[in-house]
Chains A and B, each alone.
Chain A
């Protein structure tokens, strides 16, 4: 089966840095995605990792270690608008599961002033 774990909730203050961890155990791996989802809205793409290492995009960075089945999303200079749910998703291996994403339950981040 597929198992993707991430913390349920996190809180942080404006201007701070927060790291959201994700661990995964899947039968195949073909990339890891992070999505942001504001309440009542569609998930929006943040980042993608398929090789080990850090990918940086402005205030957001994502890290992957395939040997450890581990990723994190790093958010810097937090803003109130960053309050949202952050979804970790693993793409299935090529073959029968190609295309589908396996999602964690999401981490609800609350940013306080």
Chain B
């Protein structure tokens, strides 16, 4: 079946503008994760959705960042009033249930965000 898809693949925006990044997880996967990969840095956890539970937002770097997941499937990560330090690759991953220790997270191709 199809893997995790993300859109857009690239986004260039001006400082101060809002952006929305979209993630379509693998069908049937109830767990969804957002990570950020900055140049020369490791992947940084942002937020985690598990079924109908309240999301784990503890990784969001500021209140300019928010995410939602509609209908237990598609997720949107929104960055308001973008700053240059927000420039990074934003990766989405999904897994079957999020509850098993060995469960693999499958990553999408990412959205490359550049804030000018």
Instruction: State the A residues within 8 Å of B (CB).
Output: 4, 30-31, 33, 35, 41-45, 48, 50, 87, 89, 91, 94, 96-106
Contacts and interface: CB of A to CB of B under 8 A. Distances in A.
A113 B43 CA distance: 30
B101 interface: yes
Contacts of A42: 4, 91, 107-110
B65 interface: no
Contacts of A48: 102, 104
Contacts, number: 63
A4 B104 CA distance: 19
A50 B108 contact: no
B87 to A, nearest CB: 16
B70 interface: no
B99 A98 contact: yes
Contact of B56 (A89, A96, A103): A96
Interface of B: 4, 31, 33, 35, 40-45, 48, 50, 56, 58-59, 91, 95, 98-99, 101-102, 104-110
A27 to B, nearest CB: 13
A87 B41 CA distance: 11
B106 A45 contact: yes
A99 B31 contact: yes
B56 A30 contact: no
A43 B101 contact: no
Given A41-B109, A99-B48, A105 B41 contact: yes
B40 A44 contact: no
